[in-house]
Amino acid sequence: MSIPRANSREPPGCAIWEKGSMMFKVEDIQNYGKEQFESAVATATSLQNHLHAIATAYGDYTKKSYEETKSFVEKLSAVKSLDKAIEAQNEYAKTTYATFVADSQKIAGLYGDLAKQAYRPVESMIAKFNPAAAH
């Protein structure tokens, strides 16, 4: 059982908990808890920002795709020959493919950034316990 004890070396009002041969200052425990809380809040905020960026990228891609499809349908409805219809379809296929590839790469990069950000707290915890593993 842990019991608080007074220590003449500590300033008045400074409690120390003794358990076995280990001693803990209450202030140290409070500071550690505060650091962990601040770290968790910072991580949650960062993750929220990354998820927002991913959702925005998906929304932008959807908007581009809708506009390209709308433009294609308008061109296709105005076409009077089969050659022009095939030409419009080929143009639509090229632009939609290029848009898909570009936006997919952008979104994949955002997911990569999210994964790196989510791993940072674990990485810093490992670095605290094993400084050699951080390098």
Query: Based on the number of CB atoms within 10 Å of its own CB, is 22 exposed (0-12), middle (13-18) or buried (19 or more)?
Result: exposed
Residue recorded with tokens 């929304």:
59
Structural domain boundaries, residue 51: 3-134
pLDDT in tens, the chain (135 residues): 444 444 445 555 555 555 555 666 778 777 777 887 888 888 888 889 999 999 999 999 999 999 999 999 999 999 999 999 999 999 999 999 999 999 999 999 999 999 998 888 778 778 777 766 555
| pTM of the predicted structure, to 2 decimals | 0.66
Cβ neighbours for 5, distance < 8 A, ≥ 6 positions apart: 16, 18
Q: Which residues contact 71 (CB under 8 A, 6 or more apart)?
A: 92
| pLDDT for residue 1 | 44
Domain tally, the chain? 1
User: Is residue 92 exposed (0-12), middle (13-18) or buried (19+ Cβ within 10 Å)?
Assistant: middle
- Given a contact cutoff of 8 angstroms between Cβ atoms, the answer to whether 96 and 65 are in contact is yes
For residue 112, the one-letter residue type is G
Q: What is the pLDDT of residue 117?
A: 87
